[in-house]
Every structure is written in structure tokens, then in C-alpha cells.
Amino acid sequence: MAEAYPWQQALWQQLAGRSQHAHAYLLHGPQGIGKRAIAERLMALLLCQRPQALEACGQCKACLLLKAGSHPDNFILEPEEADKPIKVDQVRELVSFVVQTAQQGGRKVVLIEPVEAMNINAANALLKSLEEPSGDTVLLLVSHQPSRLLPTIKSRCQQVACPQPSLGQSTAWLAEALTETSEQDREELLTLAAGSPLLAVKLQAQGVREQRALVTEGVKKLLKQQQSPTQLAEAWNTVPLLLLFDWFFNWSQLILRYQLTQDEDGLGLADMRKVVQYLAQKSRQGKVLEVQAWILEQRQKVLGKANLNRVLLLEALLAHWVQLPGSR
């Protein structure tokens, strides 16, 4: 059964305590706060034949089938490969499932994550099922970025904002989840994960601090003209593109903030404070805003699964970055 996170307790009581359920829920919020977990808990509860105290019993035939991944009235739709789009053929298979009669005599439950991974054709193919699902069908849509969804998708769902944990809740949970890391390392991971504890654990598993060290060292060498954009673009081939664009966007934000406030406490993590301060002092604000706008534009292309030349894109990013100092 999916983990029950303490910061979801109030939302769970609200969802699980309903006598009647919407035909479609859109569970949205930042990545790494447990949206998939609460969707899976609700899916289990909706399919359970003998629910107890607002939870699936875990022992009935439906629960055992769900645990084994063979429940005939359950359908999970997600990308076939990580970071790839959900294809229209996958959605058509889902549509065929929705129109069938429930084999266990109860509900059919569909879970889709992330919804924004559907391309325009796939999203349009889903609309009919969202508007008029057959029989007693409940669709659970999980989204990290609801702003990227078609209005017609959002309007057909009951939207549920999933709560983000407080700093205290995140810190306490991470201390139990990452017992072999130091408190300082956990704080750094949580910062890199924008306060989302599950994402912090995922980043730790993928070696994010080592990746971050590689990138920050490269940026410093770039500004000292010790390495070229081409060399760095090739050296960073294992670092996820989205992570790189997130970091550079964050640094541009910190530069602008320091230019406006001169607040040294707002320079971000220690590994880039001196660089951020240097660039803030040496760069023209208008140029920083231009670079930031370019970063956002390219980030959207990455999110949209555009077919990009990674090396050329990173070379362009670093070429913009190296031109910042002296642009006053």
C-alpha cells in the first residue's frame, strides 16, 4: 500500500470520507510531495470490497489483485519510458478499457501520471472519456504542472490541490528517509528539491550533489576562461537537461535579487554565492533579464519533449552566461 504522509492527513480525510465520488479528479501540486501516493491510496480504497476506517482492507480479493498488479478493473497510464510523452495509442487503449463493464462488479479506476506528458492528440483522445466515463468509473489524474494542461482537460475534472509539507515536516521525514546523510546534506538536498522531500530523496539517489559539484566547478572555470562552452557541454552529458536549466534560472533569479536588495543572505547555496555576487555586480540588469527569458523559453521546449540537440543547446546557454559580466 502507498505510504501515508503526515502532511496529507487532512486532504485524505476529505477525499476518503466522501459518500459519492467525482468521475475525475485532478490531483496537482509540485513534484515530490506525494501526489502519486495519495492517488494510489484512493485507487485502492475505491476498488476495495471491504474498506475499513477510510482505508483499503488489504486482504479482500480486490486488494490482493491490485497488489499483484492484475486487477482487471484498474488501468494505469504513464509514459512507456521515463521522460517520454504518453502516446495517443496508449490513450486509445485506455478509452477501450473505460467503455468495458467492470469485471469485479464494482468500480473501474484509472490512474494517469503525469497528465502533462500527453501530447495534443493524446489529450484530445481522452476528452470523451473524461466527459462521459462509462459505468462507475473514476479517473485519477496526477499533474506536476497543471498550467500545461488543456483547459478542456481541467474543466472536466474536480481539481484537488495537494498540500506541500512545511519545512518542519519535510525535515523530520527526510531525517527518517535518509538516515545515513548529515543534517547539512539533507538541508542542501531539500533546497535543491525546492522543499519537496520525496524529490530530495530521488535527487540523492541520482547523485545530484555530485552533479551539482561538476556543474558549479565548470561554471567557475568558464568565467575564468579555463574551459570553453563546448568542453563543458560535453562534460555535463550525464546531468539532466531540466536540472541544468532549473539551476541556471535559479542563479539568474538570485543575481537579480541581489542587484535589487544587496542582501548577502539571499545569495543561495554556498557553492555559488561568490559567483552570483560577482555576476550581480558586473552584469547589466537588462542583460540578466534577457538571459533569464531565453532560459525559460528553452526550458519550456525541454518540458515539451522537443527534439533538441543537447550539446548545441548547452553551448548556447553557456555562451549567454559567459557574456553576462562586463555587460553593464
Q: Are residues 118 and 253 in the same domain?
A: no
Residue 328 lies in a domain: no
Give the 3-state secondary structure of 34-95: CHHHHHHHHHHHHHCCCCECCECCCCCHHHHHHHHCCCCCEEEECCCCCCCCECHHHHHHHH
Q: What is the pLDDT of residue 82?
A: 78
Q: What is the pLDDT of residue 327?
A: 53
Residue 173 lies in a domain: no
- Cell numbers linked to 277: 555576487
- Write out the residue range of the structural domain in which residue 298 sits: 226-322
Q: What is the pLDDT along the chain (328 residues), one digit of tens a residue?
A: 788 899 999 999 999 999 899 999 999 999 999 999 999 999 999 999 999 999 999 999 999 999 999 999 999 999 998 778 899 999 999 999 999 889 988 899 999 999 999 988 999 999 988 887 777 899 999 999 999 899 999 999 999 999 999 999 999 999 999 999 999 999 999 999 999 999 999 999 999 999 999 999 999 999 999 999 999 999 999 999 999 999 999 999 999 999 999 999 999 999 999 999 999 999 999 999 999 999 999 998 888 777 889 999 999 999 999 999 975 5
Q: Are residues 19 and 152 in the same domain?
A: yes
Q: Are residues 155 and 231 in the same domain?
A: no
Q: Are residues 148 and 250 in the same domain?
A: no
Domain boundary among 106, 141, 161: 161
CB 142 within 8 A of CB 112: yes
Residue 213 lies in a domain: no
Residue 275 lies in a domain: yes
Q: Are residues 129 and 14 in the same domain?
A: yes
Residue 208 lies in a domain: no
CB 144 within 8 A of CB 82: no
Domain total for the chain?
A: 2
Domain boundary among 114, 138, 161: 161
Q: Are residues 12 and 103 in the same domain?
A: yes
Q: Are residues 26 and 156 in the same domain?
A: yes
Residue 16 lies in a domain: yes
Domain boundary among 161, 184, 211: 161
Q: Are residues 235 and 311 in the same domain?
A: yes
Q: What is the pLDDT of residue 328?
A: 53
- Non-local (6+) Cβ contacts of 95 within 8 A are 125, 126, 128, 129
Q: Are residues 244 and 148 in the same domain?
A: no
Residue 210 lies in a domain: no
- Cell numbers linked to 321: 552566461
Q: What is the pLDDT of residue 225?
A: 93
Q: Are residues 25 and 156 in the same domain?
A: yes
Residue 253 lies in a domain: yes
For 108, the enclosing helix (H) or strand (E) is strand 108-112
Q: Are residues 11 and 155 in the same domain?
A: yes
Q: What is the CATH number of the domain that holds 67?
A: 3.40.50.300
Half-sphere exposure of 127 (CA within 13 A, CB side): 12
Q: Are residues 147 and 12 in the same domain?
A: yes
Angstrom distance (rounded) from CA 45 to CA 14: 13
